[in-house]
Amino acid sequence: MVGELAPCGRCGYLGLLMTNLGHAVIMTTADIGMDVVEPRREGSPLAEEVLEIDRVSKRYGDVVALSDMAFDVRAGELFGFVGSNGAGKTTTMRIVLGVLAADSGEVRWSGRPINLRSRRQIGYMPEERGLYPKMKAFDQLVYLGELHGLSTADARRSASYWLERLGVAARRDEEVQKLSLGNQQRVQLAAALVHQPRVLVLDEPFSGLDPVAVDVMSEVLRERAAAGVPVVFSSHQLDLVERLCSRVGIVRSGRMVACDEVDRLRAAGPVRLAVNAPQAGPGWTAGLLGVRELDATDGRTVLEIDDGVDDQMVLAAALATGPVREFTRQRPSLAELFRNVVSEEKKS
């Protein structure tokens, strides 16, 4: 395989999957008989269903936690929020939920400053999980549903639905503290979903989950996004973020340093070439300008080339050493982009 990778294929696949899940959502909400007001049906144009974080800043004494943090999450979008520990992800989410006040800046929902009323329509999963340890899972979900404005009957229906959907229906009458951590996590997600939120803000929803639970969680997030709900979640599992998210924001030291579609971010990253030329000796790239050798093992070399460097020139140099068995143009993965960002942080 020579030339560019074709990420569009996967993109199309993702899109298709989301559409299918969209149908599934409409069926399931009808199934549970809830009076769900989906954003689209309210007659407001889709474009307005946007969660905007506009130049939000926050300091703790001399420590700057956030500095002009800005991004938006649109309807139907899965937004991945990545950054190293202490970069400001949790602080941002807590400000969105109003449990922390920003020093400056504004959070808007559908163009209006967010208030208690609009916050009630957010499903929130805090970083430090929060449920009453001695309350039964089902009772807890019903209570939270009611606090968010559901009638008791609707809250019970919705709680049953989500416990079933997330595979913890058998544990509905157990105290939360007696559940395994993975099951507590599922109940926690159910708590974020029980009131049919119109926005989802999830802090590290995947941490501590087994692979099956990760699949269930991913499916639910895709499904909600497909139903028109803006979903923002933070995670350190970058392969997951790359697979799930349409857009990603990378935070460093309280600032958004990169925020775009995953493929565009990757495309903007440095180009890499993997070359397999068995007869090429060490240092065969030494004479090439703008080309750095990252790794060389068993005749296979990974190179990073500067923008504007012609990869065909490298191919020619490789062919000059003998046969070339592989010549692949690669884009860095999200994990690699992230590492670059973190290492820049260390340098500064």
Stretch that binds another protein, among 69-77, 120-128, 271-279, 291-299 (CB under 8 A): 120-128
Task: Give the Cβ contact number of residue 348 at 10 Å.
Answer: 7
Residue 184 CB, nearest distance to another protein (Å)? 11
Q: Which helix (H) or strand (E) holds 20?
A: helix 7-31
Task: Please select the residue that binds another protein; options are 87, 191, 280, 305, rule is CB under 8 A.
Answer: 191
Whichever of 122 and 291 has its CB closer to another protein, that residue is: 122
* 175 is a site residue for another protein (CB under 8 A): no
Number of residues that bind another protein (CB under 8 A): 34
Angle between helices 152-165 and 181-193 (to 10 degrees): 140
**What is the residue whose two structure tokens read 């996590």?**
185
* DSSP tag of 259: E
Whichever of 67 and 158 has its CB closer to another protein, that residue is: 158
Whichever of 146 and 336 has its CB closer to another protein, that residue is: 146
Angle formed at CA 133 by CA 131 and CA 137, multiple of 5 degrees:
70
Residue 192 CB, nearest distance to another protein (Å)? 8
Residue 163 CB, nearest distance to another protein (Å)? 17
Task: Please select the residue that binds another protein; options are 10, 55, 112, 117, rule is CB under 8 A.
Answer: 117
* 22 is a site residue for another protein (CB under 8 A): no
End-to-end CA distance of the chain: 39
Sheet with 300-305, edge to edge strand ranges: 291-297, 300-305, 271-276, 326-330
- Token pair, residue 166, equals 């997330």
Task: Please select the residue that binds another protein; options are 79, 109, 124, 162, rule is CB under 8 A.
Answer: 124
Task: Please select the residue that binds another protein; options are 74, 89, 195, 331, rule is CB under 8 A.
Answer: 195
* 144 is a site residue for another protein (CB under 8 A): yes
Rounded alpha-carbon distances, angstroms, from residue 207 to 78, 125, 174: 17, 12, 22
Stretch that binds another protein, among 98-106, 230-238, 313-321, 331-339 (CB under 8 A): 98-106
Residue 154 CB, nearest distance to another protein (Å)? 9
Closest CA relative to residue 96, chosen from 257, 84, 79, 85: 79
Task: Please select the residue that binds another protein; options are 74, 89, 148, 157, rule is CB under 8 A.
Answer: 148
Strands (E), the chain: 50-60, 63-74, 78-83, 104-109, 112-113, 122-125, 199-203, 231-234, 247-252, 255-261, 271-276, 291-297, 300-305, 326-330
Task: Please select the residue that binds another protein; options are 120, 178, 325, 339, rule is CB under 8 A.
Answer: 120
Q: Do 290 and 309 touch, CB atoms closer than 8 A? A: yes
* 156 is a site residue for another protein (CB under 8 A): no
* 121 is a site residue for another protein (CB under 8 A): yes
* 119 is a site residue for another protein (CB under 8 A): yes
Q: Do 238 and 82 touch, CB atoms closer than 8 A? A: yes
Between strands 112-113 and 104-109, the pairing is antiparallel
Task: Please select the residue that binds another protein; options are 15, 33, 113, 133, rule is CB under 8 A.
Answer: 133
* DSSP tag of 174: S
Stretch that binds another protein, among 38-46, 74-82, 189-197, 208-216 (CB under 8 A): 189-197
* 70 is a site residue for another protein (CB under 8 A): no
Q: Which residues of the chain form contacts with another protein (CB under 8 A)? A: 35, 37, 94, 97-101, 116-117, 119-122, 124, 126, 128-135, 143-144, 146-150, 191, 195-196
